[in-house]
């Protein structure tokens, strides 16, 4: 049997305005009001996300907070609480695992699920999954259901927030026909522009090109484009291989000579690490935390400790320890965490 002949049912699940939804859930007085989550205007902060009330004003993820407040003066800006988001994500991951072992997390709040082996009808099953998530967390999500990742992901945006769309294999040709080419993964601004010059805006228009023609215009990616614009995508849902550690670091343009200077830089590094941790490894157990310093003479030292939660104070004490070892000027600070080795059972799952 060829790969294409195996019928698959893939769900792309994405929580709605995840961080903002958690903040509003935990502060019912904010319900119905525009809310953003991120750094304060005074600290030249950026929003991680905002709720749908704020989006009506043109506020968006990754927008500087001052700009968001210009667009929406009534916007309530709340600080991030990554530990809470991680906890919710772990809970949600646990719910998903009740339905399938084949889960590929894309970020903290987004995952592909392969539910082909489940006896339930795919659309009904996605609805059940979303209902259970809501019962347990009081958070809404959206889903796309399709025969592959490409279709499922595109479909999940269409009835967002708190909605879903199933595209059956028979419906794929019609679904693709009017779809803007930009919706295809791998097509960014540059390829879109090139396609525009060829008079192509929709996937249906792209389908008029032969495979050799597409290869001529787009090289190897042309081969894939031929399939993708028809809604054909054989990529499997691939469970993550757990990494052993996660860290973030910064090299400074001028060396830092005092512990106070180092300490001033630590806050931002810590925030970055927590954001990465929340996005990529929400459900893993941290066993150790560490601070790495590289000095002006390129020697380095690492201070690490087991059994501490990653908090700013814990990192601060490691920074003091590492700095105190030499007192040399510091050109780089890194902060990171190490994870528990996955249990054999989990490792097995990630190979499925
Ligand atoms: P998204 O799923 O992209 O956004 P969202 O859940 O807030 O909204 P939507 O309803 O459109 O899905 O990202 C999930 C979370 O990741 C989001 O709540 C905050 C965080 N995030 C950032 O920290 N920075 C970013 O630039 C983006 C896009 C998201
Ligand atoms: Mg989301």
What ligand 1 atom has the least distance to the C-alpha of 110? 2
Q: How far apart are CA 315 and CA 289, in angstroms?
A: 8
Contact 308, 314 (CB under 8 A): yes
> Is there an atom of ligand 1 within 6 Å of 161 CB?
yes
Burial of 81 (0-12, 13-18, 19+ CB in 10 A): middle
Q: Tell me, what's the pLDDT at 1?
A: 40
Q: How far apart are CA 112 and CA 236, in angstroms?
A: 10
The parts of the chain modelled with pLDDT lower than 70 are 1-6, 282-283, 342-352
Contact 246, 290 (CB under 8 A): no
What ligand 1 atom has the least distance to the C-alpha of 38? 23
The DSSP 8-state label assigned to residue 42 in this structure reads: G
Q: Tell me, what's the pLDDT at 328?
A: 95
Q: Tell me, what's the pLDDT at 346?
A: 47
Q: Tell me, what's the pLDDT at 295?
A: 96
Q: How close is the Cα of 179 to the center of ligand 1, in Å?
A: 23
> Is there an atom of ligand 1 within 6 Å of 88 CB?
no
Element (H, E) at 252: strand 245-256
110 part of the active site: yes
Residue of 110, 166, 224, 281 with catalytic role: 110
**306: helix, coil or strand?**
strand
Q: Tell me, what's the pLDDT at 5?
A: 56
Question: pTM for this structure?
Answer: 0.75
Q: Tell me, what's the pLDDT at 7?
A: 83
The DSSP 8-state label assigned to residue 46 in this structure reads: B
> Ligand 1: which of 20, 35, 49, 159 to mutate, most ligand atoms within 8 Å of CB?
49
Q: How close is the Cα of 161 to the center of ligand 2, in Å?
A: 9
Q: Tell me, what's the pLDDT at 262?
A: 96
The DSSP 8-state label assigned to residue 209 in this structure reads: S
Q: For residue 83, give every residue at least 6 positions away whose Cβ sits within 8 Å of its Cβ, in sequence order, or none.
A: 274
Q: Tell me, what's the pLDDT at 108?
A: 87
**Tens-place pLDDT, residues 2-11:** 445 568 999 9
Q: Tell me, what's the pLDDT at 275?
A: 85
Nearest ligand to the C-alpha atom of residue 48: 1
Q: Tell me, what's the pLDDT at 229?
A: 98
């Amino acid at each position: 049997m060829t790969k294409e002949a195996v019928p698959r049912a893939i769900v792309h699940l994405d929580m709605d305005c995840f961080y903002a939804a958690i903040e509003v859930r935990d502060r019912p007085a904010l319900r119905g009001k525009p809310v953003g989550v991120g750094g304060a205007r005074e600290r030249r902060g950026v929003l991680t996300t905002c709720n749908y009330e704020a989006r009506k004003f043109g506020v968006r993820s990754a927008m500087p907070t001052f700009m968001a407040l210009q667009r929406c003066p009534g916007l309530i800006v709340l600080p991030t609480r990554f530990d809470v988001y991680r906890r919710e994500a772990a809970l949600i991951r646990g719910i998903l695992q009740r339905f399938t072992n084949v889960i590929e997390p894309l970020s903290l709040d987004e995952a592909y699920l392969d539910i082909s082996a489940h006896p339930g009808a795919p659309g009904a099953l996605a609805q059940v999954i979303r209902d259970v998530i809501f019962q347990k967390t009081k958070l809404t999500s959206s889903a796309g259901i399709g025969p592959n990742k490409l279709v499922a992901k595109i479909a999940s945006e269409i009835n967002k927030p708190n909605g879903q769309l199933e595209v059956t294999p028979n419906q794929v040709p019609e679904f693709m026909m009017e779809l803007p080419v930009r919706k295809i993964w791998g097509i960014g601004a540059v390829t879109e522009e090139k396609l525009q010059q060829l008079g192509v805006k929709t996937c249906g228009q792209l389908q008029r090109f032969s495979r050799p023609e597409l290869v001529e215009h787009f090289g190897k990616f042309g081969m894939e484009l031929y399939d993708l614009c028809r809604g054909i995508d054989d990529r499997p849902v691939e469970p993550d291989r757990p990494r052993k550690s996660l860290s973030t670091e910064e090299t400074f343009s001028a060396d830092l000579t005092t512990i106070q200077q180092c300490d001033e830089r630590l806050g931002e590094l810590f925030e970055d690490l927590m954001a990465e941790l929340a996005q990529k490894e929400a459900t893993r157990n941290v066993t150790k935390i560490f601070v790495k310093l590289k000095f002006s003479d390129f020697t380095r030292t690492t201070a690490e400790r087991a059994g501490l939660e990653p908090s700013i104070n814990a990192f601060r004490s490691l920074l003091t320890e590492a700095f105190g070892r030499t007192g040399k000027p510091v050109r780089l600070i890194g902060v990171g965490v190490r994870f528990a080795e996955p249990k054999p059972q989990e490792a097995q799952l990630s190979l499925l």
